[in-house]
């Protein structure tokens, strides 16, 4: 008999296989999605991000969590604290922040007018927009066109996921979800 944990683990792992394999990229197995036990009591449905470990946890009601590997912000650019998902988008458009353009105009000035949603968009297949109160933090949990960045601290602060993984997370969490970045 297959347990709930085994079923979820197999289902999540299979999500990553087709598209990643087609791109020739091989995700480090430790960053594959899996169900893990929780040591600390968090609210079911809450998202916990541990940037130093490069993991995002979606807390389940049975003291387990769905764990996904993530890429996070470079030193000095990372988000820490609590936020709420106030908006979700499928194939979101993207525009670098003014701060990104100022820090690295050679890389970002050409995108100042924005990039429409689609497979080549840096936000990938889905985006979850993080707010504090009614103020947009400009930090996102989103897909990526750079799957090799999973397990690294390379972004301008956002939390990156393999596209197939962020699609799975997107379907599981509603707006209003609490996100804690430790």
- Which residue among 142, 143, 144, 161 is the active-site one? 142
Where does the chain show beta strands of DSSP type E? 34-37, 47-50, 55-59, 64-69, 72-73, 81-90, 126-132, 135-142, 153-155, 159-160, 178-181
Q: Give me 95's structure tokens.
A: 């525009």
End-to-end CA distance of the chain: 37
Residue the block writes with tokens 């769905």: 66
- Which residue among 58, 125, 130, 158 is the active-site one? 158
DSSP string, 51-100: TTTTEEEEE-TTSEEEEEE-BEEPTTT---EEEEEEEEEES--B---HHH
List beta partners, residue 135: 132
DSSP tag of 30: G
142 is catalytic: yes
35 is catalytic: no
Strand 159-160 with 135-142, pairing: parallel
Give the catalytic positions in this structure.
142, 158
């Amino acid at each position: 008999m297959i347990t709930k944990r085994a079923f979820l683990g197999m289902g999540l792992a299979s999500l990553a296989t087709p598209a990643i394999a087609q791109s020739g990229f091989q995700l480090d197995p430790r960053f594959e999605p899996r169900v893990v036990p929780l040591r600390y009591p968090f609210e079911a449905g809450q998202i916990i991000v541990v940037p130093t470990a490069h993991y995002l946890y979606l807390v389940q009601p049975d003291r387990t969590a769905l764990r996904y590997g993530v890429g996070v912000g470079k030193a000095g650019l990372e988000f820490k604290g609590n936020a709420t998902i106030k908006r979700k988008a499928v194939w979101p458009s993207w525009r670098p922040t003014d701060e990104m353009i100022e820090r690295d105009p050679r890389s970002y000035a050409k995108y100042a007018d924005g990039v429409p949603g689609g497979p080549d968009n840096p936000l990938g297949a889905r985006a979850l927009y993080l707010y504090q109160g009614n103020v947009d933090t400009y930090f996102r949990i989103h897909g990526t066109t750079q799957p090799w960045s999973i397990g690294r601290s390379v972004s301008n602060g956002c939390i990156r996921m393999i596209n197939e993984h962020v699609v799975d997370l997107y379907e599981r969490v509603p707006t209003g979800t609490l996100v804690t970045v430790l």
